[in-house]
Structure 1
Amino acid sequence: MLASRLAALGRSVQVQVQRNFGVSAVVWQKTDPIQQLFLDKLKEYKQKNIAKEAATDADLLGELDRLKGMYKVQPGEDMTTLSVPKYQDISVENYELGLTTTADGVEVVEAQ
C-alpha cells in the first residue's frame, strides 16, 4: 500500500517537472535576442520622437506668431483653443390664435 502511494507520488512529481521545464527554461535564459532587439528599437524610437518634438515646438511657435500677426490677435489670447460662440435666448411671445378645444377634442377656430 505504501509502495503504490509512493509510486503514484513519484509519477505526479515527474509529470510536474516535465511540464514546468519549458517554463523554467525561458526564465533561466538571461535575454532573448529578439526581445532585446525589440526593446532596443523602442528606446531608439523614443529618443527620435523627443528630438522631433523639440523641433516641432519651434516650428509651431513660429507658425503661431505668423498667424497672430496675420489675424491681429490680441496679446494674451490663446490660439490653440477653439472659441465658443455665445448665443442669447430669444424671447418668444405667446399669441392667442383663437383656438378652442371642445369636449370631443376638436379644435374650433373662432373668428376675431
Structure 2
Amino acid sequence: MALHSGFARVSSLLRSALSVSLRRNIGLSAVLFNKAKDMDPIQKLFLDKIRDYNSKSKASGGVVDAGPVYQKNLAEETTKLQRLYGGGDLSKFPQFSFTGLTCVMRIVTADD
C-alpha cells in the first residue's frame, strides 16, 4: 500500500514536471519560428536604424550628432553638479559607508 501511494506521488510529480517542460518548449519554439519568418518592413527599418545609431555611437564615443551647444550645456551641468555635490567622478556610483549606526530590532510578542 505504501509503495503504491509513493509511486502515485512520484508519477504525479513527473507528470506535472513534464507538463511544465512541454509548455515552455512549445512557447520557445513558437518564438523561434516567428523569428525565422521574414520581418515586417517597418520592424526591419526600426532595427536597422537602432543598429546604425549603435555603430555611430561607438565610433563617436558618446552621443550621436551632438553639436557644440550640447557639449557646452553638458559641461555646464557637470560643473554645476560637481559644485553642488562636492566634486568627484560623476560617472561612477558613489561609495557609502555607514559608521556608528546600529540597527535595533524589537520583536513584539503577544505578552507585550
Q: TM-score range by the shorter chain?
A: 0.3 to 0.5
Which structure is higher in helix share?
2
For normalisation by structure 2, the TM-score amounts to: 0.33
For normalisation by structure 1, the TM-score amounts to: 0.33
Bigger radius of gyration: 1
